Amino acid sequence: MSNAWRAGGHRKLESMDLKRAVFLYLDELGRARTLSDNTLSAYSSDLSGLVDFALLERVDTTRELDTELLRQWLWSQAEAGLQGSSLRRKVSAVKKFTSWLVRLGHLEGDPGLRLRAPQANRTLPRVLGRAQIDEILEGLATRAATRDPVALRDHAMVELLYASALRVSELVGLTVDGLDLSSNTVRVVGKGNKERMVPFGRPAATALRNYLEGGRNALDPDLDIHTVFVSTRGGALGVRSVYQVVAALLAELPGTGPVGPHTLRHTAATHLLDGGADLRSVQELLGHASLGTTQIYTHVSTERLMKAYQTAHPRA
């Protein structure tokens, strides 16, 4: 029996060095002889590339692997010109690797389950227009005006996601001590346990104050939860709940593509670049260790510019 299990059958999560995990996984595949030499070589190249990308993002253990990192890596491959069968093979390689990690107790949940290869005509992340964002936030503000605790929470949560471009994991992990309404900043811990300060604007500050004064106490009367955002059951809000809230909002809008909280992060980053922010500042805001990861948003901005030009210019 694997040492990933305690007596009594309860799983004990055992994080492992990412590079070593890939080595052991490939070694097991090689000994099993279930793949052709060509496929095994391709998987080795794919997973080595993932490790290199993860290390640039200061992720070096299996515990830190998540769906966001895998998607960012996949997008970087698509941006480099990889398409079709190559992208699908990379997705297959990663999904089998993360499933193996879960089975052996090196991951609690499988981040590869929701991973999909970008379509040939959609390699860039989905970005909402400013009018769409305004529509979402105005609708949430209207609901929050009823002073319903959940409506106040959802308004503050979405305002902050868009204002600060936080990862959903950073949002649900945000503590009351990490929120500074006097300076409109939040202190979050991102990839590789790297702490950073992230600013947000006045609309988000107002929504947060309204939630903290009239919503959070109602959801957590005993004030025994340290995280800012609280569930309807009184515990810390989970990632899945945030996904459900945001997905419901985006489902009402036209367009295709992802409907999770990451779309708000993409949108915020793109709008910052559209507004003239420099790439290094956006990199710091997003908490990217590699500038190359942030550069995907310059492609999004360029694509939006080209579409606007082709639509509006008489000689496009």
Q: What is the pLDDT of residue 176?
A: 92
Distance separating alpha carbons of residues 155 and 141, to the nearest angstrom:
6
155 and 73 fall within a common domain: no
Half-sphere CA count of 265, side-chain side, radius 13 A: 23
pLDDT at 102: 92
**Each residue's pLDDT tens digit, 28-73:** 999 988 888 888 899 999 999 999 988 987 888 998 898 888 987 8
Alpha carbons 221 and 234: distance in angstroms, whole number: 8
For 260-273, how does the pLDDT look when each residue is reduced to its tens digit (9 = 90+)? Answer: 888 898 888 888 88
List the catalytic residue out of 71, 106, 126, 262.
262
Q: What is the pLDDT averaged over residues 99-103?
A: 93
Catalytic residue among 191, 216, 266, 271: 191
What tokens does 143 get? 């609901």
Can you name the residues that pair with 122 across neighbouring β-strands? 119
pLDDT band of 254, cuts 50, 70, 90: low
Q: Looking at the domain assignment, is residue 120 inside a domain?
A: no
At residue 292, the pLDDT reads 64
185 in Cβ contact with 198 (< 8 Å): yes
Local confidence band at 8 (pLDDT 50, 70, 90 cut-offs):
very low
pLDDT classification of 316: cutoffs 50, 70, 90: very low
Q: Are residues 98 and 175 in the same domain?
A: no
- Annotated catalytic residue, options 95, 106, 126, 265: 265
Tell me if residue 19 is catalytic. Answer: no
| pLDDT (tens digit per residue) in 137-157 | 999 999 999 999 999 999 999
Answer whether residue 301 shows pLDDT above 80.
Answer: no
Q: Is 262 a catalytic residue?
A: yes
pLDDT band for position 90 (cuts 50, 70, 90): very high
Which of the residues 106, 155, 167, 266 is marked catalytic?
167
Owning domain of residue 84: 18-103
Provide the edge-to-edge strand list for the sheet that holds 195-199. 179-180, 185-189, 195-199
CA distance 94 to 116: 11
Domain end marker among 103, 138, 163: 103
Strand partners, 236: 230
Count of structural domains within the chain: 2
Model confidence pLDDT, tens digit, residues 109-126: 899 988 876 554 444 567
pLDDT of residue 4: 42
Same domain as 185, residue 82: no
- Mean predicted lDDT score pLDDT of the chain: 82
CATH number of the domain enclosing 300: 1.10.443.10
Same domain, 35 and 138: no
| Residue 10: predicted pLDDT | 44
295 and 195 in one domain? yes
Q: What is the mean pLDDT of residues 73-97?
A: 82
Other beta carbons within 10 Å of 66: 19
Q: Does one domain contain both 176 and 298?
A: yes
27 is a domain residue: yes
Instruction: Give the pLDDT confidence score for residue 149 in this predicted structure.
Output: 95
The Cα 228–Cα 172 span in angstroms is 8
Q: How far apart are CA 182 and CA 309, in angstroms?
A: 41
CA dist 79 and 122 (Å) reads 11
90 is catalytic: no
Q: What is the 3-state secondary structure (H, E, C) of the chain?
A: CCCCECCCCCECCCCCEHHHHHHHHHHHHHHHCCCCHHHHHHHHHHHHHHHHHHHHCCCCEHHHCCHHHHHHHHHHHHHCCCCHHHHHHHHHHHHHHHHHHHHCCCCCCCCCCCCCCCECCECCCCCCCHHHHHHHHHHHHHHHCCCCHHHHHHHHHHHHHHHHCCCHHHHHHCEHHHEECCCCEEEEECHHHCEEEEECCHHHHHHHHHHHHHCHHHHCCCCCCCECCECCCCCECCHHHHHHHHHHHHHCCCCCCCCCCHHHHHHHHHHHHHCCCCHHHHHHHHCCCCHHHHCHHHHHHHHHHHHHHHHHCCCC
Is the pTM for the entire model greater than 0.85? no
Domain identity same for 166 and 45:
no
> Quick one: 251 and 135 in the same domain?
yes
- Co-location of 299 and 220 in the same domain: yes
What contacts 243, CB < 8 A, 6 or more positions away? Answer: 168, 260, 261
- Can 265 be counted among the known catalytic residues? yes
Q: Kindly state whether residue 2 falls inside one of the protein's structural domains.
A: no
Residue owning tokens 């936030």: 137
The reported pLDDT for the residue numbered 141 is: 97
- Mean pLDDT score, 84-106: 90
How confident is the model over 156-174, as pLDDT tens digits? 999 999 999 898 889 999 9
Q: Do 156 and 282 share a domain, yes or no?
A: yes
Task: Please tell me which residue, 288 or 32, carries the higher pLDDT value.
Answer: 32
Cα–Cα dist 231/206, whole Å: 20
Instruction: Give me the pLDDT at residue 250, please.
Output: 87
Burial of 122: CB neighbours in 10 Å, binned 0-12, 13-18, 19+? exposed
Cβ atoms within 10 Å, residue 243: 16
Rounded mean pLDDT, 184-210: 88
Partnered with residue 169 across adjacent β-strands are: none
Same domain for 205 and 164: yes
In angstroms, what CA-CA distances link 139 with 50, 101, 133, 249? 40, 42, 10, 9
- Quote the pLDDT of residue 11: 52
Look up the CATH number of the domain holding residue 55: 1.10.150
> Are 206 and 145 found together in one domain?
yes
